[in-house]
Structure 1
Amino acid sequence: MGPFLIRAALTGLALWVVTKFVHGLTFVGGDTTLQKVGIIFVVAVIFGLVNAVIKPIVQFLSIPLYIVTLGLFHVVVNALMLWFTARITEHTTHWGLQIDHFWWTAIWAAIVLSIVSWLLSLASRDLRRTTRR
């Protein structure tokens, strides 16, 4: 349970950082700071579930597009996963992730999220190495 919570917290942190850099991507809902942190955590868990369940199916169905674009279609698939997460949270509840426009907002958010997630994974890997010694 510990690694799951850490991964969800890192994903939530990455999503929060992305909302600070990409205009049009915001978290909605929550009056207090604790509620906002809870919303970010729940959105991160939903995003992880979307990536675990829907993303492999979409990747398999879009193999020809991956080949034609030499892998650049991966950015569109990541943007689609963000959009699915926003649709799930925003339209089933009145809180969650909100994306103004799919094409530019979600595409830029997917690119920034990939970079931020990569940096956080490097930092957490270095942190795990130093704590093991």
Structure 2
Amino acid sequence: MDLLIAWLLTAISLLIIAQLPIGVEIDNFGKALVAAIVFGILNAIVKPVLLVLTIPITILTLGIFLIILNAIIFGLAAALVQGFRLRYGFWSAIFGSVFLSIVNGLLNQVVSR
């Protein structure tokens, strides 16, 4: 049940950030649901591998490189899902991943109450 709620909240978060002027575009709620699934799978499989491979640069940048890793995962999700686009390329991925974290965190707090 928690996984279903997290999936729905991520899809809603994606739709919310698509309304911001940062270049993230999602066609409809169905595409947001698919993007949320793809994003979750990428976070579960690809992100841990990238984290291990980039430990030295993450340490050198005192963790700031994690923002780039999140943007890479966000961009991969956009590349894999038709109807989920990044108008300004990598900049949209960076801002989209940051805003996704913020909006998703806020929605999780609201739902957990």
TM-score for the superposition, normalised by structure 1: 0.78
Q: What RMSD over aligned residues (CA atoms) do the two structures have, in Å?
A: 1.3
Deviation at 1:99, TM superposition (A): 0.9
The equivalent residue for 2:9 is: 10
User: Which portions of structure 1, spanning 4 or more consecutive aligned residues, are displaced by more than 6 angstroms?
Assistant: none
How far does the alpha carbon of each residue in 1:90-133 deviate from its partner, in whole angstroms, 9 at most, with x for none? xxxxx33101233311111111111111111211222xxxxxxx
| Unaligned stretches of 5+ residues in structure 2 | none
- Whole-Å Cα distance in 2 between the matches of residues 21 and 15 of structure 1? 10
- Partners in 2 of 1:17 and 1:55 — Cα distance? 24
For the residue of structure 2 that corresponds to 1:20, the secondary structure is coil
Structure 1 residues 1-133: aligned runs within 5 Å? 2-28=1-27, 36-89=28-81, 95-126=82-113
Alignment coverage as a number of residue pairs: 113
Could you tell me the TM-score, scaled by structure 2's length? 0.91
Contact 2:57 2:65 in 1 (8 A): yes
Q: Deviations over 1:34-78 (max 9, x none)?
A: xx2222111111111111111111111111111111111111111
Percent identity, please: 32
